[in-house]
Structure 1
Amino acid sequence: MSVDEDREYSDYVSAALDRLRRTAFLLCGDVHRADDIVQATLIAVYARWSKVRAAGNVDGYVHRILMRRYIDEQRKGWARVLLTWPATERAAKPGRDLEDADAIAQALKSLSRGQRAVLVLRFFCDKSVEETAAILGCSTGTVKSQTARGLAAMRNLLNGQWTAAGTRSA
Structure 2
Amino acid sequence: MSTSSRDAEFTEFVASRQVHLRRIAYAVCGDWNRADDLLQTALTKLYVAWPRLHRDGREEAYTRQIIVRADIDDRRRPWRSREQVGLEGHDRAVRTGLPPEERSALFDALQELPEMQRRVVVLRHWLGLSVAETAAELRIAEGTVKSHSSRGVERLQQVLAQH
TM-score in terms of structure 1 length: 0.78
Instruction: Report how many aligned residue pairs link the two structures.
Output: 150
Q: Kindly report which structure 2 residues correspond to 1:2-151, keeping only aligned pairs within 5 A, or say none.
A: 2-78=3-79, 97-151=99-153
Give 1:138 deviation, angstroms: 1.9
Give the superposed CA RMSD.
2.3
Structure with greater proportional helix content:
2
For residues 91 and 67 of structure 1, the distance between their equivalents in structure 2, rounded to whole angstroms, comes to: 21
Larger radius of gyration: 1
Give 1:40 deviation, angstroms: 0.9
User: Given residue 46 of structure 2, which amino acid in structure 1 is its aligned partner?
Assistant: V
Q: Per the alignment, in what secondary structure is the counterpart of residue 99 of structure 2?
A: helix
TM-aligned CA distance change 1:138 to 1:56, over 3 Å: farther
TM-aligned CA distance change 1:142 to 1:104, over 3 Å: same
Q: C-alpha deviations, 1:96-123, integer Å up to 9, x for none?
A: 8222111111111111111101111122
Gaps of 5+ in 2: 82-87, 92-97
Give 1:56 deviation, angstroms: 4.8
For residues 151 and 90 of structure 1, the distance between their equivalents in structure 2, rounded to whole angstroms, comes to: 26
TM-aligned CA distance change 1:118 to 1:35, over 3 Å: same
Q: C-alpha deviations, 1:33-78, integer Å up to 9, x for none?
A: 1111111111111122123224453322221111111111222232
Q: Per the alignment, in what secondary structure is the counterpart of residue 111 of structure 1?
A: coil
TM-score in terms of structure 2 length: 0.81
Q: Per the alignment, in what secondary structure is the counterpart of residue 116 of structure 1?
A: helix
